[in-house]
Structure 1
């Protein structure tokens, strides 16, 4: 089913269907909160295991990175990687599940424009990413004694990063027709870009070619921005990182809206 035409004039509930958009976002939040142990607690355990393993393996012998202890340098990277992966999982799993079960039409039929539908899905991804981030930040404060140098930058980059990854999740799930295809995209695109983005190291330690490639990786700017917010140090100007993240997010959101308008790979 196609989306309602914008040319039909003002809809009876106004130019923006706020209630419908809110309802879709609320549905997405309720969906992941119904399995909170899997969606909220499990990422905390995974992040804790990463920190524990790195601390046991190389933490005691590793020198400072960018003027801070290695474990404190590592923590914001793992936090951000976990946040953005959960934002991606939320939007991608929701749409692919609907396509596999054949009820994607239930999302396409309501009087929501393509933009409103995308906003509803993205909002769910942002909330999930933010909740995971808050839980991990609490764990970092309790077990590592870490504070937050610039809270506003953390909030901005978590929202911007979750928006980027939520949009990427929509694109991946629209393109994929089954979970195997979605897993392929996650394993061969999302995970490598997340791991090769300065999560575990400063990109200034890389050879010049690899450093240059890292600086065109949107994941790097998201992780580096959160690291700046938590520690007050970064490999790049946070304003440059925010601009790059917003620009790439806008491109992805434009693709999402276009695909929902045309029903690309969504119509039965």
Structure 2
């Protein structure tokens, strides 16, 4: 019979109650400040869309057979999703470390894998929390109806998981908020902006095009655009493979750091 410890609701080798509690804590953490986690990203995405439409839209013409505004809209949605997923896990960890309460996460009977999965679940939840109202806004104001809703949802979830895992790594490495800001400004933001959010990679010179295809965030943006508009610069199956592989690699690194207590234990 599988091991069952009712004190921790551990069925087999997984502490389901502990994992659920950590997931619930991470989700409640961002839903309690919904003005920052929901309204702010919506306003930012809307401002990007308005500015690019006014400044470039009229003279840009169609991109891959659709209007420029329509083309960049799904990219803005996916960029907002991955930035918020990264911010959720990284800010949670660095905040706990700076405040000295990271021990509250490390002391309960949770395995390193359960801790990593709990944080990633929070990042995925916030990514989905942001994606749904943006998608609704794209339908109401631009008339964009997802061509493949399931595919778009898969890329939102996988992209959120990938950036959530990266946020764990960043939150563990950073010791102060300014170090976390440096990681965001010099790694996450360039990856997001240089990923085809505002342009088709086919318009790039060959060298830059190859560099872009090495960027895993490109496949998140491109896959989301495929799900929303039915157009993409690369195969969605290749994108799924790259994102899954990247998530596993980064997730393993996060698990290894938590297991070793790297920059977590005094």
- The TM-score, its normalising length taken from structure 2, stands at 0.96
Aligned position for 1:230: 228
- Deviations, residues 74-123 of structure 1 (Å, cap 9, x unaligned): 00000000000000000000000000000101100000000001000000
Aligned position for 1:221: 219
Q: Distance in 1 between matches of 2:174 and 2:36?
A: 23
Match of 1:96 among 78, 84, 94: 94
Deviation, 1:145, is 1.0
Q: Distance in 1 between matches of 2:118 and 2:17?
A: 11
Aligned position for 1:161: 159
| Compared CA separation, residues 157 and 31, structure 1 to 2 (3 A) | same
Match of 2:110 among 103, 109, 112: 112
* Residue 110 of structure 2 is aligned to residue 140 of structure 1: no
User: Post-superposition, which runs of at least 4 consecutive aligned residues in structure 1 deviate over 3 A?
Assistant: none
Deviation, 1:45, is 0.5
Aligned position for 1:130: 128
Match of 1:186 among 184, 192, 203: 184
Deviation, 1:196, is 0.4
Deviation, 1:252, is 0.4
- The TM-score, its normalising length taken from structure 1, stands at 0.95
Aligned-residue RMSD, C-alpha: 1.0
Aligned position for 1:172: 170
Secondary structure in 1 matching 2:76:
helix
Map residues 1-268 of structure 1 onto 2, 5 A cutoff. 12=5, 13-14=10-11, 15-268=13-266
Higher RCO, 1 vs 2 (CA within 8 Å, ≥6 residues apart)? 1
Q: Distance in 1 between matches of 2:199 and 2:53?
A: 14
Q: Distance in 1 between matches of 2:3 and 2:261?
A: 22
Secondary structure in 2 matching 1:28:
helix
Q: Distance in 2 between matches of 1:11 and 1:105?
A: 26
Q: Distance in 2 between matches of 1:152 and 1:22?
A: 25
Deviation, 1:10, is 5.4
Q: Distance in 2 between matches of 1:160 and 1:29?
A: 17
Q: Distance in 1 between matches of 2:152 and 2:68?
A: 20
Deviation, 1:62, is 1.3
Secondary structure in 2 matching 1:137:
helix
Query: Mean alpha-carbon deviation: is it higher for 253-262 or for 86-95?
Result: 253-262
Secondary structure in 2 matching 1:110:
coil
Which consecutive unaligned segments of at least 5 residues does structure 2 have?
A: none
- Deviations, residues 23-53 of structure 1 (Å, cap 9, x unaligned): 1011001001111011011100000000000
Deviation, 1:198, is 0.2
Deviation, 1:254, is 0.4
Q: Distance in 2 between matches of 1:34 and 1:26?
A: 12
Which consecutive unaligned segments of at least 5 residues does structure 1 have?
A: 1-8
